[in-house]
Structure 1
Amino acid sequence: MTNDAAIVPRPRATDGPGDRSTFALGLILRRAHNRAVGAVTRVLRPLGLEPRHFAVLIALCGQGPMSQSALVRVTGSDRATMVRVVDDLERAGLVTRAARPGDRRVRIVAPTEQGQLVFDQAHTDAAPVVGDLVAHLRPGEAEHLLDLLERFVYPDHP
């Protein structure tokens, strides 16, 4: 015999506005990610970059030169993809790759002056596009959304 009173029906996933199912958070975050990445990709494309290239420039321009292994960790990429991305960036003159003194097996990747300029240009070009992404939000909501997402993604960060 089942206890029908203990069965609480939950809403089923709809992957649309108003979805309050168990899956709603993941579904809406995926849609938000796709929308944001699409906009950023349109900004990066004229600069000859893809989001994966920009992720490497973010790491290098923010943290300084590092090994390809460190780039794999920082960007969440895999080794094979990182080699291709660094190859692309090196061909474009945006990074250099050199053996670490004392350990020639380790390759250190560093942004070039041109890489820094392209990184800065991407920020300039992205400002109006990102502004358009949140233009429909009320004053202060974009900052609030960013705050909530940061706390969601980095729960241990003060």
Structure 2
Amino acid sequence: MYDGRQGSSSPFEQSVYLLSEAGRAVDRLLAERLEHRGLTPVHHALLSALAQLGPHGRHDLTSRATAPAAEVDQALDDLLSARLVQSMVVHVGGRQEVLTITPTGESALDVLHTDASATQDDLLASLTKGQRVELNSLLRRVCAAAARGAGQRPRPRGTSGWTLTRGSRRTWTRVREGVGPAEGPDVGTPG
């Protein structure tokens, strides 16, 4: 049973791992709800992008998405055929297809937001209203730090550690400040 007064010594219960586990659980639960509606996370992302950003060129949407281009193109075709998105051709600097969300698409997105809210309620059922507000505030701060590039800083000076070397013969090697991979007794497994 979880006891909030005691921290865990397990590295797999550190916040970064717990956030990752929670994210995977949320992705899975939302994907299940989307699948029930005949949609995928790509459909949802595209509808959300068009609702938030307004009309966009098909090429821009495809390059903006994190999914493979073929999957994005298929999802856009699905949304067009379901009339959740509409297309128009404009001739500004050449021929370009511009996509916009339709009123039906906005209604569908509202339903998906309701599904997300229900998923959130299920996941956070064990928290009080105050704890939910606090969690939301903390997660916003974490996301803001991530957006600023926190965690992508180079390793602080004065530290050494282990790294997997590059090349055809990769080894787990100890690296010291200002020195490349170590040779000799430190090469091997961390101890």
TM-score after normalising by structure 1: 0.72
Which residue of the partner structure matches residue 19 of structure 2?
Answer: 29
Which residue of the partner structure matches residue 116 of structure 2?
Answer: 126
Which whole-Å CA distance do the structure 2 matches of 1:84 and 1:25 have between them? Answer: 37
Deviation at 1:134, TM superposition (A): 0.5
Flag the structure with higher helix content: 1
SS of the residue aligned with 1:18? coil
Deviation at 1:41, TM superposition (A): 2.1
Letter in 2 for 1:146: N
Deviation at 1:140, TM superposition (A): 1.8
Deviation at 1:138, TM superposition (A): 2.8
8 Å contact kept, 1:90–1:97: yes
Distance 1:20 1:153, change over 3 A: farther
Which residue of the partner structure matches residue 55 of structure 1?
Answer: 45
Equivalent of 1:102 in 92, 109, 112: 92
Which of the pair has more CA radius of gyration? 2
Deviation at 1:79, TM superposition (A): 3.1
TM-score after normalising by structure 2: 0.61
Which whole-Å CA distance do the structure 2 matches of 1:107 and 1:18 have between them? Answer: 54
Cα RMSD, aligned residues only: 2.8
Equivalent of 2:70 in 74, 80, 91: 80
Which whole-Å CA distance do the structure 1 matches of 2:87 and 2:118 have between them? Answer: 33
Structure 1 alignment gaps of length 5 or more = 1-16
**Sequence identity percentage:** 27
Aligned residues: 141
Matches of residues 9-24 of structure 1 in structure 2 within 5 Å? Answer: 18=8, 20-21=10-11, 24=14
Distance 1:101 1:129, change over 3 A: same
Which whole-Å CA distance do the structure 2 matches of 1:20 and 1:73 have between them? Answer: 40
Post-superposition, which runs of at least 4 consecutive aligned residues in structure 1 deviate over 6 A?
none
Structure 2 alignment gaps of length 5 or more = 1-6, 149-191
SS of the residue aligned with 2:126? coil
